[in-house]
Amino acid sequence: MGFIWILTSMLTACAAINIGSTGSHSTFTCEPITLRMCQGLSYNTTFMPNLLNHYDQQTAALAMEPFHPMVNLECSPDLRPFLCALYVPVCTEYGRVTLPCRRLCQQAKSDCYKLMDIFGVSWPEEMACNRFPDCDEPYPRAVDLLSSADATQEAPASVQRDYGFWCPRELKVDPELGYSFLGARDCSAPCPNMYFDRDKLLFARYFIGVVSIVCLSATLFTFLTFLLDVSRFRYPERPIIFYAVCYMMVSLVFFLGFLLEERVACNRSAPGLFRAATITQGSHNKACTLLFMTLYFFTMAGSVWWVVLTITWFLAAVPKWGSEAIEKKALLFHAAAWGVPGTLTVALMALNKVEGDSLSGVCFVGLYDVSALRWFLLAPLILDVAVGVALLLAGIAALNRVRMEIPLEKENQDKLVKFMIRIGVFSVLYLVPLLTVIGCYLYEQSYRSVWEITWVQERCREYHIPCPFKVERTSRPDISLFLIKYLMMLVVGIPSVFWVGSKKTCFEWASFFHGHRRKDSTVHESRQVLQEPDFTQLLLRESGAPVVRKSRGTSTQGTSTHASSTHLAMLDEPVSGSSSHAGTMRSKANSFHGSLHRSRDGRYTACSVRGAEERPPHGSMQRLHEQLQHSSSNRLDSQSRHGGSQRLDSQSRHSSVRDLSCTPQAVQSGPGNGIHRVLKEDVATA
């Protein structure tokens, strides 16, 4: 079965790539026997690979070393001919293999079995006697010797064969690890990188480290800005935050790879066992597995979150969904964005497709396995780009149709245009790096076979393995291709900074560093009232039509000013013919100052009055006016100095609703117009 598997792998390699060279072992010809143990037999020529799949006589000699004591002690006269028949078989005509008889195997094994136990040598499984033909003839047969003479006299230049890739002894690994390299089992790629020298690897490692630090800083800034005001980034733009978190983790893994160098991505060399340093594969290395899980999971999750972002934009632009309606689907968004990458990560670990990357110091997928690169990197990324671009274009087209067909105020027109430009710029900043990464992967999987055959051709004599056969073209990868790939893998997370970058972000960070945080930021959601126009209603309302404001909970995108609340409070007051325009303005200002008065329980309210029936005499109205204006201006100036404009707006928002509920009661409590009653309330409170 082992021989059939080797033959199948050779045919598969030949069908996939046309390999070859005019070096050693490139033609099937007889070669003289150089093994001292097998010299002096009835034949003196052999061929390679032999019946045990040793590609040259040097490898066969190393495999025969355990049997040297038994041959030297001559435990059986049949042992030496039997071993030479397997390790250096007689060279006959091409296409015909002569095997030793079963009787020869059984006689050699029975004679030397006890001596093998003494030396601790076991009979190899590939030398089991039941694998040989049931006959009783010496080796080699007479007909084999005649065919060998004919084959030696003729020059079989037209008879050529391809041996495929044979794993060098230096790159062999333990069978239980499940490694494979270029189709050869129990083999791994050399470390450091098989394509580049030390100087290029050092430059690439520092380049990736610097870029990862930049990307980590940018994405971390985005995430911390979100934490300063969680309610600021609502759907449909909330996925940008999760997208930034994903690429923050990606850049963190690359930074750790820069610090770890080759300690995780490579296995240590073992000079005593003639083994060189090799690339880590599979999940036996826990640190490599952890780096792979984090890097691959968040790379895929970042691309899925970008698709979710385009979905939310599409829902807001085409069916005109509001923020609350989109937020109800957040559970589905999270299930898709975290579930799909998690499933792919588990599948790769089950298939043992984890590979170390000596260039960046991390562990990833598709570095040496082309099929894993195609199905677990290229296919998901291309699918995400296709779906995201389709939804993005549909959403932008819908917004443009709203701008062209529905008459909007100039202010709303400008906001809509700026929003469309912002979406377009952000999408370009994301798609250009991602498409570049996809292009690098496509180029890499197209030329990977050529690079590998070129490497085998250059190192076959050094590793003492068969050289390729008929190489039509050779090529080596350029280090700039890999630098561009790693650069774009990290840069793709930086566009999140451009979305959160604004004057409001600067003001929030300035307030944070100066310790001036808004007091209402710690108030429970049930006590925060925000009157904010719906996005769809803002776009579709007629010019000049009033906007119906609704409570939105904790959002900070809109504020209710004292002017609007005072205006709503004055709507139900009867108009007095004796009140002048100046008196009306003073009454509005005084009602606003009244809303800032503190009651006995410490709350700001406009309802803390003594009652409408406690009115001062009519003759003292002028003096009351002067006192009221003087005291109100002093209080307003004091509050402005100590609380600032942000505290004033906050107090106004909390008291505007109570103004609306309490002012009508004051209107009904006594005669006269609403303006005089507001003045009386201020006097009573003072």
Assign 49 a pLDDT band (cuts: 50, 70, 90).
Answer: confident
**CA–CA separation, 580 and 577 (whole Å):** 8
Question: Averaging pLDDT over each range in 497-501, 661-665, 674-678, which range is the top one?
Answer: 497-501
- Which two three-digit tokens encode residue 659? 């103004």
How far CA 188 is from CA of 4, 183, 455, in Å, comes to 22, 10, 14
- Residue whose tokens read 């890097």: 295
Position 478 pLDDT exceeds 90: yes
Mean pLDDT of all residues in 56-72? 87
pLDDT in tens, 204-241: 999 999 999 999 999 999 999 999 888 888 888 899 99
Position 556 pLDDT exceeds 50: no
pLDDT recorded at residue 516: 63
Concatenated DSSP letters for 637-665? HHHHHHTHHHHHHHHHHHHHHHHHHHHHH
**CA–CA separation, 263 and 358 (whole Å):** 9
- Mean pLDDT, the chain, whole residue set: 74
Assign 469 a pLDDT band (cuts: 50, 70, 90).
Answer: confident
Query: Is 392 or 619 the better-scoring residue by pLDDT?
Result: 392
Q: What share of the chain is helix, strand, coil (3-state, %, to 5)?
A: 60, 5, 35
Assign 93 a pLDDT band (cuts: 50, 70, 90).
Answer: low
Contact in structure between 281 and 354 (CB atoms under 8 Å): yes
- Which two three-digit tokens encode residue 288? 């490599």
Give 247: exposed, middle or buried? Use CB within 10 Å, 0-12, 13-18, 19+. buried
pLDDT recorded at residue 612: 37
- Which two three-digit tokens encode residue 177? 């690890």
**Secondary structure of 368-401 as H, E, C letters:** CCHHHHHHHHHHHHHHHHHHHHHHHHHHHHHHHH
Contact in structure between 397 and 420 (CB atoms under 8 Å): no
Contact in structure between 681 and 662 (CB atoms under 8 Å): no
**CA–CA separation, 250 and 486 (whole Å):** 11
Distance of CA 499 to the CA centre of its chain: 20
- Which two three-digit tokens encode residue 40? 């002096």
**CA–CA separation, 425 and 495 (whole Å):** 9
How far CA 299 is from CA of 490, 504, 556, 566, in Å, comes to 10, 30, 31, 52
Enclosing H/E stretch for 256: helix 239-260
Position 21 pLDDT exceeds 50: no
pLDDT recorded at residue 29: 62
pLDDT recorded at residue 161: 56
pLDDT recorded at residue 146: 60
Concatenated DSSP letters for 20-78? --SSTT-B---EE---GGGTTSS--EE-SS-TT--SSHHHHHHHHGGGHHHHHTTS-TT
pLDDT recorded at residue 672: 41
**CA–CA separation, 413 and 402 (whole Å):** 10
What percent of the chain shows pLDDT beyond 70? 66
Enclosing H/E stretch for 364: strand 363-364
Question: Averaging pLDDT over each range in 39-43, 361-365, 618-622, which range is the top one?
Answer: 361-365
Assign 318 a pLDDT band (cuts: 50, 70, 90).
Answer: confident
Closest CA to 592 of 560, 621, 616, 556: 560
Distance of CA 62 to the CA centre of its chain: 46
Distance of CA 4 to the CA centre of its chain: 40
Mean pLDDT of all residues in 174-193? 91
pLDDT in tens, 165-177: 888 888 989 888 8
Span of 48-57, 297-306, 365-374 with lowest mean pLDDT: 48-57
Span of 123-132, 194-203, 273-282, 392-401 with lowest mean pLDDT: 392-401
* 3-state SS assignment for residue 181: strand
pLDDT in tens, 587-598: 443 444 444 444
Bridge partners (DSSP) of residue 231 are none
Other residues' Cβ atoms within 10 Å of the Cβ of residue 678: 28
Torsion-angle region of 349 (φ positive above 0: left; ψ -120 to 50: alpha; else: beta):
alpha
Closest CA to 654 of 531, 547, 568, 541: 531
**CA–CA separation, 628 and 290 (whole Å):** 71
Position 495 pLDDT exceeds 80: yes
Span of 104-113, 261-270, 630-639 with lowest mean pLDDT: 630-639
Query: Is 148 or 181 the better-scoring residue by pLDDT?
Result: 181
Assign 476 a pLDDT band (cuts: 50, 70, 90).
Answer: very high
* 3-state SS assignment for residue 329: coil
Parallel/antiparallel/unpaired status of strands 363-364 and 184-185 = unpaired
**CA–CA separation, 684 and 151 (whole Å):** 125
Q: Interior CA angle at 588 toward 585 and 589, to 5°? A: 90
Instruction: Give pTM, 2 decimals.
Output: 0.62
- Which two three-digit tokens encode residue 442? 């496509």
pLDDT recorded at residue 151: 46
Span of 235-244, 342-351, 361-370, 653-662 with lowest mean pLDDT: 653-662
pLDDT in tens, 422-459: 888 888 889 999 999 999 999 999 999 999 999 999 99
**CA–CA separation, 641 and 649 (whole Å):** 14
Parallel/antiparallel/unpaired status of strands 45-46 and 180-181 = unpaired
Query: Is 53 or 483 the better-scoring residue by pLDDT?
Result: 483
Give the dihedral sign, CA 517/519/525/531.
negative
Closest CA to 258 of 148, 143, 359, 149: 359
pLDDT in tens, 3-15: 333 333 333 333 3
How far CA 128 is from CA of 48, 89, 116, in Å, comes to 21, 17, 15
Position 499 pLDDT exceeds 90: no
